[in-house]
Structure 1
């Protein structure tokens, strides 16, 4: 099995989260220390923070906050959801629909632990977010803040108050969803396979007042240059794109190569040829992606083994059992127990030396 890539978030994104916590009156310095994050390093634009450290920061903040709804303030999400260069590129684009067609690739600059996609619907488009590459459960506050940030971004870019037609979250239903309703504008549906919200096509086609064709082209070039320095997760390798598509499709069942090729606007033969040029097979990418997601899902005690098997696209739990024996040398239940044991030492912080 190939070593799995380390997933990270940008300094700007994590710094925004820290500023959000400060605005909520939380002790940011202490929380960052608890998550083993060097707060000063977040001032350096090329710092990247390990995905599990970001989750630890949210966990520490939620524990200190001691009440539900951390991150569910619409105004704070709009102010502190820092997209940095990607946000500037979107603000230069003609409309949300055109800009978001680039976000599925550009998202890696904000966090290569998050995937973005759009799905057509008769009423408009679903904007879909998913978190990958973690070895511990993703805190619900982190998930919900990310979705809310994307929603408030639509308002900020268009200078309009847009309301989604529907919101679906993977997080379990809270005892009281009052803050969720206020934040999203509609009552979310909880416990869903993916995080997504539905926007009317007319809203996505609203012109962006700050559109500037020259700036848009410049920002796109700058984003692509930054992505090129992120390593394999930011490069335009077909294998990286295939893994992203696999992660998006697995909850629907095991994806076929020809279906992934279609989503990438390639023929099956062309995809196979390009993967061969990168010395990798579709089956290997499928297995590697499942391994990465299995670690994340098994680290979450809220997910039953049946649910994990389903989310990984297995037809039944016996397939998950055999796969875990091959991946980890033990059945899924035993591996889960191992994951849930306290970590022996601090999680590594990556300041991307290649940047």
Structure 2
């Protein structure tokens, strides 16, 4: 997938509504002054981060990301968000959002369920710097607003995990209605696993059929154009944390038999293990650039049984240890 994010022109209106001068924001972000006059707006990950960093710095409002992540006007929802709102349950909504994210940008929504909890995490796959706090606040607030609206307030987060250091605790806890853990290994919002099965009162079968079919058509088109290696890599990234990828599980998620997936990988001249290792290597770089992610946590998130296995693999990839690589690349954060 190319390193391009599609940005809606509606964002310009929303920023203006919150009192931000677009010219000042774009100048601070070193982006073209006519950006929002373009018919189609595409930004790289670095440019997207610059934009949202500039929004936070220009506004001077610690709540700006939270406010922008809570959209009450349904007519402003994009097709994926509208599909989520019309879904049968919170779980259904999250799975649809995760599925359709693959079409549009190098960003992934990962849902990790463990021990009665379900964590929803955003991963920016091409990032080589930490995510701006404003963008993190927007993404997590947006997920919570979808769940809250669909369940009439029944699906409530039980914890927020942020990689940033302690700041604005009272503001964040008041907005999300839960405690916040700072200096965490990830940016994620945690729900009770049972909340994901709450039905959506906003479920609309007719509208879901119309919008959902449009999204599924786009997904099929994307899938047809994506190589089997890219499809496997995206699926592995969504299911990697805490467990070793298994060919059968990946094949099932792609809607193929194990035999078909093996044949297509062979035809492409790659192996399943090769794709897994390439995926782990990419994500290892991502996690090591996050200063709050401990090496033991990185090993777990990459699906290794122990830290030594991760260290050995990383030494083969890079010719150095994870700690040394982090030190050498810290200037890029």
TM-score class normalised by the smaller sequence: 0.7 to 0.9
Partner Cα distance (1:21, 1:241) in 2: 35
Question: 1:112-164, CA deviations, whole angstroms, 9 ceiling, x for partnerless residues?
Answer: 312243748758x6545433221222223322320110111233456x23441
- 2:179 is paired with a residue of what secondary structure? coil
For structure 1, the residue ranges without an aligned partner over 5 or more in a row are 344-355
Q: Take 1:78 and 1:203, find their aligned partners in 2: how far apart are those partners?
A: 23
2:6/2:105 contact within 8 Å kept: yes
Q: 2:317 pairs with 322, 326, 342, which one?
A: 326
> Using a 3 Å threshold, how does the CA distance of structure 1 residues 60 and 336 change in structure 2: closer, same or farther?
farther
Equivalent-residue separation in structure 1 for 2:89 and 2:225 (angstroms)? 25
Q: 1:222 aligns to what? A: 214
> Does structure 2 retain, via aligned residues, the 8 Å contact 1:133–1:293?
no
What is residue 42 of structure 2 aligned with on the other side?
48
CA distance in 2, matches of 1:108, 1:287: 20
| Partner SS, residue 78 of structure 1 | coil
Please give the secondary structure, in 2, of the residue aligned with 1:251. coil
Q: Is 1:107 the equivalent of 2:101?
A: yes
Q: Distance in 2 between matches of 1:43 and 1:246?
A: 38
Task: Assess, with a 3 A threshold, how the Cα gap between structure 1 residues 26 and 165 changes in structure 2: closer, same or farther.
Answer: closer
Q: 1:38 to 1:290 in 2, by over 3 A?
A: farther
Q: Which runs of 5+ in 2 are unaligned?
A: none
CA distance in 2: counterparts of 1:68 and 1:139, whole angstroms: 12
> May I ask how many residue pairs the two structures share in their alignment?
329
Picking from 53, 59, 72, the partner of 1:59 is 53
Instruction: Quote the offset at 1:110 in angstroms.
Output: 5.0
Equivalent of residue 285 in structure 2, options 295, 315, 327 = 295
TM-score, normalization: structure 2? Answer: 0.77
Structure 2 Cα separation of the partners of residues 337 and 34 of structure 1: 29
Distance 2:308 2:277 in 1: 16
Residue in structure 1 matched with residue 174 of structure 2 by the alignment = 182
The answer to whether the aligner puts 1:196 opposite 2:189 as a matched pair is yes
Summarize the Cα distance change of 1:79–1:22 in structure 2 as closer, same or farther, 3 Å threshold: farther
Q: How far apart are residue 30 of structure 1 and its match?
A: 3.0
Equivalent residue for 2:80?
A: 86
**Contact 2:136/2:187 (CA < 8 Å) preserved in 1?**
no
SS of 2:159's equivalent? strand
Q: From the superposition, tell whether residues 247 and 168 of structure 1 become closer, same or farther in structure 2 (CA, over 3 Å).
A: farther
Root-mean-square deviation over aligned CA pairs: 3.9
Equivalent in the alignment of 1:346: none
- Determine helix, strand or coil for the equivalent of 1:296: helix
Choose between structure 1 and 2 for higher RCO, CA contacts under 8 A separated by at least 6 residues. Answer: 1
Moved more, 253-262 or 136-145: 253-262
